[in-house]
């Protein structure tokens, strides 16, 4: 009987298995392929065994995404606290190498643990945590603090859902940037997050959205997605253009999404007196900045990181941000630039790390 149920579940022929306290299904360990960074610069596909615990679900991965964190880890750039303390198991820091990869993904639940009541087989869910999602299958806990898995909103594509976590983060950043009707907003760095934030601040009433990046392909995409002005600092005088467009006042809001001190400095240079400086990126290298204006010009400085908020706030914000995508207000699918099969993981990482025009590189399981 148990073997028969395992076959049915894993072939998705039963979408909703009703269980009672006397009947709780638990399969034996199963094998899955998973992307592993053995050491910096060496990304491989390995096989391992997994099964869900009593408070976990087993998810058949539809698609996973390579994000900036994945790229940093694959190249040996872990945050200092991880290198020093080698923390693990808290979704904030990870093991040393070899490191199983992935935290952005969506898929369908094919098994639930004996204590799970909020999810069922057949539910489509998104990953919010480091659960080794670059795999055929992954397990994740059922928790209610913004980690674990989250049900897909109705109306959201599986492709967009596979980017649920970074989308929620970027939409949250735009919604909490302080933009008001008629503002001029500058976004420095228009990778995936910057592209999403540009759409959000426009929807929230920004009269003028100026996007800045050193990659023309990303600027072209930003323009197609609705940016008013795009600038490349390697050929454009960004500060002068911003001053001209704001009657020499400076931008009302600037958001840094490039991840380096040059970008942060540019944000400081083009912000108006009393303006809002939004910090989004996870900067891993020491920064050298001239920050006298932060004090003298009374900047309102805020960090825009959803996943590092108070834990009980996160579920509400995740639902709020992703509903805007499901409603069609924010477009995500056009930001997927490359799709590779899971077996091509090494090539996918090479593109993600080395092709400056790549926006979101995905792995299809």
Cβ(347)–Cβ(43) below 8 Å: no
pLDDT greater than 90 at residue 357: no
The answer to whether position 95 is within a domain reads yes
Residue 67 lies in a domain: yes
Structural tokens at position 224: 């197609």
For residue 1, the model assigns a pLDDT of: 41
Asked if 191 and 281 touch (Cβ cutoff 8 Å), the reply is: no
Residue 4 has pLDDT above 80, yes or no: no
Mean pLDDT for all residues in the chain: 88
Same domain, yes or no, for 355 and 281? no
User: At 42, is the pLDDT very low, low, confident or very high (cuts 50, 70, 90)?
Assistant: very high
6 has pLDDT over 60: no
CATH number, domain with residue 217: 3.40.50.720
Residues 329 and 240 in one domain: no
Q: What pLDDT score does 27 carry?
A: 59
Q: Are residues 215 and 288 in the same domain?
A: yes
pLDDT higher than 70, residue 241? yes
CB atoms within 10 A of CB 125: 23
- For the chain, the domain total comes to 2
**Same domain flag for 297 and 315:** no
| pLDDT exceeds cutoff 70 at 22 | no
The answer, yes or no, to whether residue 179 has pLDDT greater than 70, is yes
- For residue 191, what are the domain limits? 177-303
Mean pLDDT of all residues in 349-355: 95
Reduced to 3 states (helix: H, G, I; strand: E, B; else coil), residue 277 is strand
pLDDT tens-place string over residues 123-155: 999 999 899 999 999 999 998 777 899 999 999
Query: Does 108 have pLDDT greater than 90?
Result: yes
State how far the Cα of 230 lies from the Cα of 223, in Å rounded to an integer.
7
172, part of any domain: no
Does residue 62 sit within a domain? Answer: yes
Least confident piece of the model among 97-106, 242-251, 256-265, 280-289 = 280-289
Over residues 243-266, the pLDDT tens digits come to 999 999 999 999 999 999 999 999
Model confidence pLDDT, tens digit, residues 51-67: 999 999 999 999 999 99
CATH number at residue 127: 3.90.180.10
């Amino acid at each position: 009987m148990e073997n028969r149920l395992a076959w049915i579940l894993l072939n998705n022929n039963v979408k909703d298995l009703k269980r009672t306290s006397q009947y709780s299904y638990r399969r034996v360990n199963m094998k899955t392929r998973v992307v592993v960074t053995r050491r910096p610069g060496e990304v491989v596909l390995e096989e391992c065994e997994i099964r869900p615990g009593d408070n976990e679900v087993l998810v058949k991965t539809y698609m996973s995404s390579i994000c900036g964190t994945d790229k940093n880890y694959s190249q040996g750039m872990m945050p200092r606290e991880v290198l020093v303390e080698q923390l693990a198991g808290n979704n904030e820091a990870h093991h040393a190498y070899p490191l199983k990869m992935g935290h952005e993904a969506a898929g369908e639940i094919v098994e639930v643990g004996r204590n799970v009541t909020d999810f069922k087989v057949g539910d489509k869910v998104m990953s919010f945590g480091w659960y080794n999602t670059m795999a055929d299958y992954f397990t994740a806990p059922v928790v209610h603090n913004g980690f674990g898995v989250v049900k897909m909103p109705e109306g959201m594509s599986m492709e967009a859902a596979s980017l649920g976590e970074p989308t929620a983060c970027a939409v949250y950043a735009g919604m909490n940037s302080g933009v008001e009707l008629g503002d001029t907003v500058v976004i420095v760095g228009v990778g995936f997050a910057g592209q999403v934030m540009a759409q959000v601040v426009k929807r929230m009433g920004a009269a003028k959205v100026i996007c800045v990046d050193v990659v023309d392909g990303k600027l072209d995409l930003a323009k197609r997605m609705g940016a008013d002005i795009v600038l490349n600092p390697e050929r454009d005088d960004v500060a002068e253009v911003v001053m001209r467009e704001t009657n020499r006042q400076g931008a009302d809001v600037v958001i840094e999404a490039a991840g380096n001190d040059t970008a942060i400095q540019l944000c400081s240079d083009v912000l108006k007196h009393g303006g809002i400086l939004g910090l989004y990126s996870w900067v891993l290298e020491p920064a050298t900045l001239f920050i006298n204006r932060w004090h003298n010009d009374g900047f309102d400085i805020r960090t825009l990181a959803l996943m590092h908020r108070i834990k009980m706030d996160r579920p509400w914000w995740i639902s709020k941000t992703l509903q805007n995508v499901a409603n069609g207000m924010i477009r995500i699918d056009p930001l997927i630039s490359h799709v590779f099969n899971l077996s091509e993981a090494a090539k996918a990482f090479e593109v993600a790390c080395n092709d400056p025009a790549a926006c979101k590189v995905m792995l299809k399981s």
